[in-house]
Structure 1
Amino acid sequence: GYYVTMIGDDDTIADGLFNLLNLMYKYDLDAIYSGFSTYYWPGIKLRFNNLNTQISIPKNKVTNQILDPQFLQSLCLRNGCTELGLLPRLYYGIIKRTCLIELKNAAGTFFPGPSPDMANAFSASFFIKKYWHISYPIFIAGNSPSSAAGLGLQGRHVGAIEKMNFISDYTKRNWNIFIPKFWSGETIWAQSVYEACLKSGFEKLFEKNNFLKLYAKCLVFHFSFRSLIFNSFKAYNRNSNIIGKIDNINKILFYIILFINKRAVYFFINRVKMLNPFAQKKQSNQSASFFSIHDAERLVSVNVSSNNNFFAVCER
């Protein structure tokens, strides 16, 4: 085949996928990412509300952007490799097979890191030239209680590296000393970018990573691992002079304030949604309860087919 995509066993794809493939073939695109809806499987329990058997569909105006994958890599590094951003990807995205072959020839694998989604997204971006982002969710991301996404939503996707049997010995031996050595979404994504750069022949690029932002986010969301976070910060700060060390501490404090404010806003918004019937009613236009993920798939497919000018907008 010409193109490759990937979803998890708790995900699905709505109608419209082959329309995207036709666009890719027509304009000789290397990759396309359309975003995704989110389906919450039964059993997901959150602090703010119960999202069992519910789908959330972003209500964005359909837009089409031509993006530079290498610029998106720099944004990822600027954020401490804690966010995928709009990087092209296999997971909920589509990549031309020839680009993936180039990646494998360079790195020896399609997934050069412990987190397949981040490792592939970052490393594939080295070999992708023509990339589109379309703001319509063809893919449906399923968050089940035992999945990585589901565990993350419940605050359970964290732990000691030594207890994670699914992490390869290679990753454990080659863990970057500047990355706090515990399992979390933030740390494993940063380590995945490190290994992706290392195996793809771009090791120097990882030196641009914003480790201070990584430390700040880890302190805010995973404070119980503060000793490991401080150990990595000490290693990062070792060769700085006194002014540089003070500057690094100030930057971490600044990022901590940003993350705390963001978390406080998120908490406030979700509390309002729980307590305010009007807010819940307003939200119901983009969220609904269903019995199964297949019902969710049909809803998204209906939304795609009802938007007759969707793919015409994509081509403009």
Structure 2
Amino acid sequence: MIEDKKYILSVIIPTRNRETYAYMSVMHILQTTDDDVQVVIQDNSDTNSLINKFENNEFRNRIKYNYSEGVLSFVDNFSKGVEGADGEYICMIGDDDGINPEIVEVVRWAKENGIEAITPEIRLNYIWPNTGISYYKNDNGNLMIVNFNLEARFYDTKKELQKLLDSGGQNYLKYNLVKIYHGIVRKSAMDKVKQVTGRYFGGLSPDIYSSVALSLVIDKVLKIDYPLTIPGVCRKSGAGHSSTGRHHGKLEDAPQLVGHTNYQWSSLVPRFYSVETLWADSALAGFVEMQKDDFVKKFNVSTLSAYCFYNYKEFDEFTEINYNQYCAARKINLIGKKSKLLKGYLVGPLKDLFNRGYNKLTRKKDAVEKFEGIETIDGAEKILSQYLKRKSLSAAIMIEKLNRLNK
């Protein structure tokens, strides 16, 4: 392996005991990109047998493999991945995900124009075969592509962080924040986070933690409506568990706690684990560890409580205890307590419900295309490539728009 090679992009893949998926994801990236792209495999599996699959591989010199024994937390596995990256820019994906090979062209443009962070819209999703998700008629490998229009805009990250706080830390992907997970960011920005916090990631959900932390050190993020990665879902993934109803429970049973000792759960978040509470806790951890207590004071506990009451009635006791303690500590009277919670419902889960219905009614019939019988992530990327050609879309056209925007 060439140790002193300088890469423009490192694609980081943390993995644990999903050797088959990880191997296919890595090979897909190596086969569709050039020598400017490095793949960093951060492996915390029970054995290091994954690397044997790459022995005598023609792309071996572009692989950075690190094996960590013992059980690491998600956070530590992500952090070690960043530590091993040699690229000027980094992008992190899961071991069941893929990329649009055009990502390299966009990163080159970012370097030439001094752009610190690019957040692409998520416009497609690949479901591996035999995942157990009932959304599709046949569980044989499904790809969904939502139309996109190549829009591009710079956003003030601090204003977007305020929106996240107003939402109680929910639906963070709809805000225009910096992302390393399925996003692009200069590694030097991640280094700034580590200088303040002592580590690259924290909380229990490293993707939202890093979005908060990076958005605190980067003032502007470029959002583009063009897919550069392919999110995947396999049966063993967290998204797969969530879709099949296996992603909430007692806090002490949270799989995200594995590898953590004496983790300090936020006092502003009900003590059970779910997508909503993990997002809220990890977002708050990002603000706290970046020493931004002024942001923490603006966190909307009422909206978070509304989401918890609405979605997890079996944990009403935990939500009620947490909300009562919050209101008591701030001397919020009964009327104020109820009115804030009502507003939380209106701007939180009820607004989401309305938006989902509205979007479904107004979405054009041809806005979504679905494909099935796709066995691997490589096959999903080929379908995407064909889709782009058919629609006369490309990264080159996207970059033309970016050049006009960046004048």
Band the TM-score falls in, shorter-chain normalisation: 0.7 to 0.9
Which of the pair is proportionally richer in helix? 1
Task: State the 1:310 CA deviation.
Answer: 2.7
1:203-282 paired onto structure 2 within 5 Å: 203-241=293-331, 244-256=333-345, 259-260=349-350, 262-263=352-353, 266=356, 282=365
Q: Does 1:94 align with 2:94?
A: no
Which of the pair is proportionally richer in strand? 2
Deviations 1:175-222 (A, max 9, x none): 122200111111111111121112111123111111111011111111
Q: Which has the higher contact order (CA 8 A, sep 6+)?
A: 1
Mapped to 2, the partners of 1:169 and 1:22 lie a distance apart of 37
Q: Counterpart of 1:10?
A: 96
Task: State the 1:120 CA deviation.
Answer: 0.6
Deviations 1:253-277 (A, max 9, x none): 343356246447758988x9xxxxx
Task: State the 1:154 CA deviation.
Answer: 2.3
Closer, same or farther: CA 51–57 of 1 in aligned 2, 3 Å = farther
Closer, same or farther: CA 51–174 of 1 in aligned 2, 3 Å = farther
Mapped to 2, the partners of 1:77 and 1:265 lie a distance apart of 20
Q: Does 1:201 align with 2:284?
A: no
Mapped to 2, the partners of 1:34 and 1:265 lie a distance apart of 22
Deviations 1:108-158 (A, max 9, x none): 111121101001111111111342000011111112222111222223211
Please tell me the residue identity of whatever aligns with 1:183. Y
TM-score (norm 1): 0.87
- 8 Å contact kept, 1:58–1:137: no
Deviations 1:214-273 (A, max 9, x none): 01111111111111000110111103446x432231232343356246447758988x9x
Please tell me the residue identity of whatever aligns with 2:372. S
Closer, same or farther: CA 269–87 of 1 in aligned 2, 3 Å = closer
Q: Does 1:143 align with 2:229?
A: no
Closer, same or farther: CA 49–126 of 1 in aligned 2, 3 Å = same
Q: Does 1:291 align with 2:374?
A: yes
Q: Counterpart of 2:250?
A: 160
Mapped to 1, the partners of 2:225 and 2:322 lie a distance apart of 38
Q: Counterpart of 1:66?
A: 154
Q: Counterpart of 2:280?
A: 190
Task: State the 1:19 CA deviation.
Answer: 1.3
Closer, same or farther: CA 54–314 of 1 in aligned 2, 3 Å = farther
SS of residue matched to 1:111: coil
Deviations 1:35-59 (A, max 9, x none): 2221112234456554732112121
- 8 Å contact kept, 1:4–1:90: yes
Task: State the 1:97 CA deviation.
Answer: 1.1
Q: Counterpart of 1:117?
A: 207
Please tell me the residue identity of whatever aligns with 2:168. G
35, 39, 42: which is aligned to 2:129? Answer: 42
Mapped to 2, the partners of 1:43 and 1:254 lie a distance apart of 41
116, 123, 144: which is aligned to 1:30? Answer: 116
How many residues are treated as equivalent by the alignment? 307
Please tell me the residue identity of whatever aligns with 1:127. V
Task: State the 1:285 CA deviation.
Answer: 5.0
SS of residue matched to 2:231: strand
Closer, same or farther: CA 172–81 of 1 in aligned 2, 3 Å = farther
Once the two structures are overlaid, the 10-residue window that deviates more, 246-255 or 223-232, is 246-255
Unpaired segments of 5 or more residues in structure 1?
Answer: 273-278
Please tell me the residue identity of whatever aligns with 1:43. N
- 8 Å contact kept, 2:156–2:219: yes
Q: Counterpart of 2:269?
A: 179
Segments of 4+ moved more than 4 angstroms: 45-49, 168-173, 264-270
355, 361, 385: which is aligned to 1:301? Answer: 385
SS of residue matched to 1:112: coil
Mapped to 1, the partners of 2:261 and 2:203 lie a distance apart of 8
